[in-house]
Amino acid sequence: MKKIFIDEQYCIGCRLCEIYCQVKHSKSKKILKAFREDQPGTLARVLVEEIGSNSFAIQCRHCEDAPCTGACISGAMAKNENTGVVICDEEKCVGCWSCIMVCPYGVIKRDIKSKKVASKCDLCFDEEEPVCVKNCPNEALKIKEI
Amino acid sequence: MKAFSASGSAKGMNIKMVKNKNILNTDYLIIGNSAAGLSAAENIRKNDKNSPITVLTKEKYSNYSKPLTTYYLAGRLEPGNLYFKKSNFYEENNIDLKTNQNVVSIKSSDNLAITEQGNQYLYNKLLIASGGRPIIPEIRVIDKTGKTLSLDEAMSSVKGIFTLTTLDDAIMIRKYINEYSIKTASILGGGLIGLKAAEALLGLHLNINIVELSDKLLSASFDETASGILIEAIKKSGSSIYCGQTIEEIYTENNSINSFKLSNGRKIPSDLLILAVGVLPDTGYLKNSGIKTDAGIITDSRMKTSIDNIYAAGDIVKSHDVLSGSDKNMAIWPIAVKQGEVAGSNMSGIDTAYPGGFLMNSVEILGMPMISLGQSSIEYDDKNKDLKVYKSHDTDRKIYRKIVVRQNRAVGAILIGAIERAGIYWGLINNNVDVSEIGENIVKEDFGLIQLPADYRKHLVVGEGIEV
Ligand SMILES: Cc1cc2nc3c(=O)[nH]c(=O)nc-3n(C[C@H](O)[C@H](O)[C@H](O)COP(=O)(O)OP(=O)(O)OC[C@H]3O[C@@H](n4cnc5c(N)ncnc54)[C@H](O)[C@@H]3O)c2cc1C
Ligand code: SF4
Ligand code: SF4
């Protein structure tokens, strides 16, 4: 499967990945609307951690043995056996946050803007390349087949 | 995997009848169609593409998630949406599901499981994943004439008293609420199931009374502060909480509950009572099976019982608690799933160890998300001098965070309000990481991976691709 690799030393903490991710997962897919108008709004599924000049972006690692899927009480969080991508079926999700409780990377967010759902990286399965990777100006994110 | 099936295993013909018409032959027999049973079945099928797998359930439903039943109770989900495996799961994995099959005994010397419905299942390997049963406390139930029953006896005859561990329970409660236009309901027990029931009933705008023996809600995992935050929120919603109390007597009229008396003598009117004081491993039917039990089935690290071809997983097992080092019942979904997975692997020939687990839960009540992990209720005191306990409490924003560290290892956490990165603590506890470098940053709201020891960060990401 494909995985996103994170190169901490190249990350400049610009958070463009967060912005592109949020727009990509918004209703309108337009930057201004996504941030100001869309109802319900959406969240970025990648997050940048930063202390001083040290920073990196992190999103779901699509774990081999994913704790979030085993904790999910509704079956919403599941790994696609063919692609390896772990996806939350937002229709099925009940917002119990059991997945948040066990994700060792802390990359699932509570989306409570309309129905409560767990919001996380879907590896932009419908794009050629995840938008965070594509739009990182410094190649701190790379996607590789492993 | 040939074993007893003289007949091979053509698709859809999993069960071959042998000897007489009531003996059904299978390779893998799984008692229990829930978290543990189905994760085992799925894993067996990954390793063994052909041998017959048969799953038995005493219930009539094909598949539903117990934790979702309170969402049904709240009117947030309909019965058709309570499944946690899709309807094609059984077909896709070639699993033969038999509903309405209540196993009443196991003859391990003959590899037979016998059901109340008169069937005998001949297995090669057996998994017992039949879960727990609700505890019925000893309470006198008294009617107008003074006639007294035990609560156990009254469960089947008196209306308005329920347990809540199955979908049928939830359906009966919801029906009762609608039929009798119930406005006030009471819950005995302020643990996970009691609180999830409370959350559901609050959502239906009922007034609720919670009666809890301990002086805290969620007493196994919450400390005084956490419990206090929760109690305040529930009281604000117009409900009542009676901590340090139990129910002494239940009073009935026209064969229905109408009130009960607390241990302090106070009488509380109530026309619905949910008993949620806990679940116990339901091992009664294993009495003469030869399988070793001691408040739950005893297994080794492979989830194998005292009998060679019999495994067990989930709520029925006495599980290994990695934090205390002892074995106890830990009736939670993620543990059942993990144990099922391990049992399934071992049953199908892939040697796998269950490392043990620890208690945790996540509930959201009145819009407040709350997560607790591991040994979260303990405090630094004379008995616990080796603890460092970090706390932060923002009363305005209703945010409480507590991290318990013992000998440089995180062993427990409570997060209320700001729960987003709770799983990082789960990882630290699970991987026994030295957190001494992190100091009090560990409890801060902006705590993240970036503060973790570099070698753990590397370990975390081995094979997952963060370069640090
Ligand atoms: C209302 C409620 C809410 C909960 N909420 C949460 C939560 O939010 N988070 C969490 O982690 N946990 C929660 N739990 C606990 C969780 O549901 C259990 O830990 C989990 O379901 C255990 O799975 P299991 O497979 O061991 O057994 P169970 O889920 O108990 O399933 C047992 C299966 O065995 C079958 N069975 C039993 N006896 C027999 C027999 N004699 N013959 C044939 N079949 C039999 C039953 O029909 C069923 O299919 C909740 C439980 C309840 C009741
Ligand atoms: S959400 Fe977390 S636990 Fe689940 S696959 Fe992604 S990184 Fe792993
Ligand atoms: S929040 Fe949704 S995806 Fe996460 S465990 Fe609960 S139901 Fe599953």
Q: Are B128 and B316 in contact (CB under 8 A)?
A: yes
Distance set, CA B6 to CA A15, B47, B264, B269 (Å)? 64, 21, 66, 63
ipTM > 0.90?
A: yes
| Closest residue CA from atom 2 of ligand 3 | A93
Distance (Å, whole) CA B163 – CA B155:
9
B454 CA: distance to closest CA in chain A (Å): 12
Three-state secondary structure call for residue B127: strand
Q: Are A107 and A58 in contact (CB under 8 A)?
A: yes
Q: What is the mean pLDDT of residues A106-125?
A: 94
Distance (Å, whole) CA A123 – CA B422:
22
Class of domain B367-460: alpha beta
Residues in A closer than 8 angstroms to B451, CB to CB, are 51
Q: How far is the CA of A71 from the centre of ligand 3 (A)?
A: 8
pLDDT tens column, A47-102: 999 998 889 999 999 999 999 999 999 999 999 989 999 999 999 999 999 999 99
The residue extents of the domains of chain B are 10-66+83-130+280-347, 136-277, 367-460
Identical topology for domains B10-66+83-130+280-347 and B367-460: no
pLDDT at A10 over 80: yes
Residues of chain B where predicted confidence (pLDDT) is lower than 70: 1-21, 459, 461-468
Q: Are B318 and B296 in contact (CB under 8 A)?
A: yes
Distance set, CA B146 to CA B251, B287, B438 (Å)? 9, 37, 64
Residue B279: what pLDDT?
96
> Does ligand 1 lie within 6 Å of residue B130's CB atom?
yes
Query: What single string gives the DSSP state of each residue in B298-338?
Result: ---TTSB-SSTTEEE-STTB-EEBTTTSSEE----HHHHHH
Label the pairing between strands B256-262 and B247-253: antiparallel
Q: Are B258 and B269 in contact (CB under 8 A)?
A: yes
**Per CATH, which fold does B136-277 belong to?**
FAD/NAD(P)-binding domain (3.50.50)
> Does ligand 2 lie within 6 Å of residue A107's CB atom?
yes
Residue from B130, B164, B201, B286 whose mutation best tests the ligand 1 pocket (most atoms within 8 A of CB): B130
Closest among A58, A85, A24, A62 to A140, alpha carbons compared = A58
Distance (Å, whole) CA B1 – CA B299:
23
Closest among B112, B121, B155, B116 to B135, alpha carbons compared = B155
Three-state secondary structure call for residue B113: strand
Asked whether the CA dihedral B376, B380, B385, B386 is positive or negative, the reply is positive
Residue B21: what pLDDT?
58
Whether the CB of A12 is below 8 Å from some CB of chain B: the reply is no
- Please give, one letter per residue, the 3-state secondary structure of B34-70: CHHHHHHHHHHHHHCCCCCEEEECCCCCCCCCHHHHH
> Does ligand 1 lie within 6 Å of residue B84's CB atom?
no
Tokens of A77: 């969080």
Distance (Å, whole) CA B153 – CA B12:
43
Tokens of B21: 């018409």
Q: Are B193 and B162 in contact (CB under 8 A)?
A: no
Q: How far is the CA of B419 from the centre of ligand 3 (A)?
A: 14
Q: How far is the CA of B174 from the centre of ligand 1 (A)?
A: 19
Three-state secondary structure call for residue B349: coil
pLDDT at A131 over 60: yes
Domains of chain A: 1-59+123-146 (3.30.70.20), 64-120 (3.30.70.20)
Residue B368: what pLDDT?
95
Q: Quick count: other Cβ atoms within 10 Å of Cβ A54? A: 12
Asked whether the CA dihedral A77, A82, A84, A90 is positive or negative, the reply is negative
Read off the DSSP letter of residue A46.
Answer: S
Which helix (H) or strand (E) covers residue B454, if one does? helix B454-461
Whether the CB of B85 is below 8 Å from some CB of chain A: the reply is yes
Give the bridge partners for B98, in sequence order. Answer: B56
Distance (Å, whole) CA B226 – CA B203:
22
pTM for this structure? 0.94
Residue B15: what pLDDT?
47
Read off the DSSP letter of residue B351.
Answer: -
Residue A45: what pLDDT?
96
Distance (Å, whole) CA B74 – CA B170:
10
- Please give, one letter per residue, the 3-state secondary structure of A47-92: EEEEECCEEEEECCCCCCCCHHHHHCCCCCEEECCCCCCEEECCCC
Which segments within B99-228 are labelled E, that is strand?
103-107, 112-115, 120-122, 125-128, 132-134, 140-143, 148-150, 161-163, 184-188, 207-212
Q: What percent of chain A has pLDDT over 70?
A: 100
Closest among A98, A130, A56, A52 to B68, alpha carbons compared = A98
Q: Residues B10-66+83-130+280-347: name the CATH superfamily.
A: FAD/NAD(P)-binding domain (3.50.50.60)
